[in-house]
Amino acid sequence: MMGKRIFLFLLTNILIMVTITVILGILGIFFPGIGQYTHGNTLNLTGLFVFCLVWGMGGAFISLQMSRWMAKTSMGVRLVDGATGNAKFDWLYATVKRLSLEAGIPMPEVGYYDSPEINAFATGPSKSRSLVAVSSGLLQTMNASEAEGVIGHEIAHISNGDMVTMTLIQGVLNAFVMFFARIVGWAVGQALSNRDEEGRGHNAFSMMAQFGVTIAAEIAFGILASFVTAWFSRQREYRADEGGARLAGRDKMIMALEKLAGYQKAIDPRGAELATMKISGKSWLSLLSTHPPLEDRIATLRKGG
């Protein structure tokens, strides 16, 4: 299973790199020099920005387009159609269908994945190409009212367009992380190169230093960007809770979160990219957590009622 996840990760990243390289190549036909952000010792900020924007936004949106396939493959999601003969699976399908109609969105794909965690997620590139999946642990642990609250929450994510919103935010942040990291790396490289313009060995050293500083800056700026995406994700969870309360009922949404509060230990490590789309999640650092504490979410729902 680990080998399969590694293969999918590598395949996804290769497809993203190839696609963006092709896009830059096509753009280069109409806009010569696009993506070339240095001319000797001069930094072309416009070219750098275009290069970073294509890579940052392109990578995020290609990942979004592949999100439903990746989710089904990495989590082993099995789709249901409402006619399985299994009471729980058929109830799941019927409930998603009813709440989707109430939310005014096209019917998502519906599935479940074998896992002891009590969780569910929604993903997909658009409202018309979405997926709602719940864990087998949730179906076994929650009663119908609690599970309906969870499903309402996931339907609200789709209705709110959260997948696209988070992709836009991540894409913009990716672009800025790349942009400023390359400026820092270029500045360090130029500073080292100007100290000694004679030796080729020093020039080679300055190039290596520029590369190393760029990577280090990307990591540092990437961590800072994670605080921003985590904050947006937490606000999105409050909105999905409120949406779930409107669709399934406030009491059912509160009951679902209360049940989740007692089952937070079992976390499925598969599909790490889906963590922000699950109804429950945790992080070692609260500012990097994609989900607010369940206690805060319950209190907010009670206050809103």
Q: Which residues are catalytic?
A: 154
Residue 78 CA to residue 111 CA, distance in Å, equals 5
Long-range contact list for 31-37, CB < 8 A, 24+ apart? 37/182
Reading the block at residue 53, the tokens are 């924007």
Closest CA to 59 of 129, 12, 113: 12
Maximum CA extent, the chain? 79
Cβ neighbour number for residue 211 with a 10 Å cutoff: 12
Both tokens assigned to 283: 């992080």
Instruction: Decide if 175 contacts 53 (C-beta within 8 A).
Output: yes
Q: Which of 76, 77, 96 is nearest to 157 (CA)?
A: 96
Contact 185, 214 (CB under 8 A): yes
Task: Please report where in the chains the tokens 């929650």 appear, as a residue.
Answer: 142
The amino acid at 37:
Y
For 72-101, b where at least 16 C-beta lie within 10 A, e where not — what string? Answer: bbbbbbeebeeeeeeebbebbbebbeebbe
How far, rounded to the nearest angstrom, does the alpha carbon of residue 130 sit from its chain's CA centroid? Answer: 14
Kind and range of the H or E run holding 112: strand 109-113
Alpha carbons 51 and 36: distance in angstroms, whole number? 8
Backbone angles phi and psi of 227, in degrees to 5: -65, -40
